[in-house]
Structure 1
Amino acid sequence: MTKRIFITATNTDIGKTYTTKLLLREFASRGFRVGVIKPIETGVVDGYAQDGSELLACVKELNYEFENVSLSDVVPITYKLPAAPFVSSNNTKLDLHLLDKAVENLEKLCDLLIIEGAGGLYVPVDEDTMMVDLIKHFGASALLVTHCSLGCINDTLLSKKVLEDKNIEHLVAFNCREDDKSFSSVSEPYFLKIGFEVLKVNQNIDTICDVLYNL
């Protein structure tokens, strides 16, 4: 059975796509036939889904079986307005059958599928569905990507609690950027004090992959 890993984050623009590409490369280097899908992307103009395009280009480098896969295969649902899918779609009911079929088709080409979400866990998809519900629907484990700026303690612990309350197996990884120089003195001490393992995307991708695969 194909391993499914869902990439989520504490908010938008935290680094899900960047992290997903690193994971694809690391898993491929270990001999896995990797695959990727971003079920929903908003802010898509003239059919160009930026995140999906980056992911498709990356996976085509790593798995030749994706040679004939199209952007619409990797991003089955797109909306023009850069907002939560609930708003972008004018509260259109989510077509889970469409997403299930897209996942099924891509899983024929890989043995590990990375699913990239949109925004954070409580981004509304439609009136009845939040982004976190898709993790449960797909039966995936999750990687919560968080930031290293001031406020990351609150953002990280809140999102982690959501995953815990939903009984979703997960791992947390910190995407520290060049301007996050205060993390080690402002936020990291608290995480270390409470025994929270601080795994950084740009330093510990190998460990992150090890843990995710065994969740």
Structure 2
Amino acid sequence: MKKRIFITATNTDIGKTYTTKLLLKAFAARGLKVGVIKPIETGVVDYPIDGEALLECVKELNPKLWSIEVEDIVPITYTLPAAPFVASDNMPLDLKKIVKKIEEMEASSDIVIIEGAGGLYVPIDEQTMMIDLIKLLNAKALLVTHCSLGCINDTLLSQKALEAKQIPHIVAFNCRDDDDSFSVVSEPYFIKTGQKVLKVGDDIDSICELLYNL
């Protein structure tokens, strides 16, 4: 099996797609053939916005993927911008469809980045949460967290959830321009408790290295 990295986050709108694109570029710069999948995207009206962004990025980085379409990146879409459980009216997860697309991507890739939807406990169907999908796909995880007030609580809760499921993972902080208080109100806790503070915008090469060796 090729290496699979699942990008998850502490919530929605934390920067998963932004981080995924940076990782694709970082892995490609190392000479690896990259692939990408976003198994489920909700809020899709005309086309999957995140899926199109990922498609454009990966086609530039991996010539073997020149002929793929957005449906190869996003196999499952729903119109309602809600958790898949709600958006699909609790339709059972079609895991075989997702695995098929990942395996097709792996035929032309050394590494596949899998971007989740929302946070870890977004319900996909009555039996499956997003965190379960990471385990079902036998992937390693990158937890993307924010840098605003409350990130300590959000980060620790998500870390504990991943640890409980025994999912190998690392954490990266996506600090935005207005997160200037992070170094004062949140970062000291992580530093004093021995957690390496890796920032998506500054440390993508280090994040890439750690994920590859995870």
Map 1:181-200 to 2 at 5 A.
Answer: 181-200=180-199
Amino acid at match of 1:71: V
Corresponding residue for residue 211 of structure 1: 210
Amino acid at match of 1:213: Y
The answer to whether residue 34 in structure 2 is matched with residue 62 in structure 1 is no
The separation in 2 between residues aligned to 1:214 and 1:91, in whole angstroms, is 37
The separation in 1 between residues aligned to 2:12 and 2:169, in whole angstroms, is 19
Corresponding residue for residue 23 of structure 2: 23
Q: Secondary structure at the match of 2:20?
A: helix
Count, aligned residues: 214
Percent identity among equivalent residues? 70
Corresponding residue for residue 154 of structure 2: 155
Deviation at 1:45, TM superposition (A): 0.2
Deviation at 1:2, TM superposition (A): 1.1
Alpha carbon RMSD of aligned pairs, Å? 0.5
1:41-65 CA-partner distances (Å, limit 9, x unpaired): 000002x100010000000000011
Corresponding residue for residue 178 of structure 1: 177
The separation in 1 between residues aligned to 2:204 and 2:73, in whole angstroms, is 23
Q: For structure 2, which runs of at least 5 residues remain unmatched after alignment?
A: none
The answer to whether residue 139 in structure 2 is matched with residue 140 in structure 1 is yes
Amino acid at match of 1:120: G
Amino acid at match of 1:93: P
The answer to whether residue 38 in structure 2 is matched with residue 38 in structure 1 is yes
TM norm structure 1 = 0.99
Find runs of 4+ consecutive structure 1 residues off by over 2 angstroms: none
The separation in 2 between residues aligned to 1:121 and 1:190, in whole angstroms, is 23
Deviation at 1:77, TM superposition (A): 0.1
Amino acid at match of 1:5: I
Corresponding residue for residue 89 of structure 1: 88
Map 1:72-83 to 2 at 5 A.
Answer: 72-83=71-82
Deviation at 1:180, TM superposition (A): 0.2
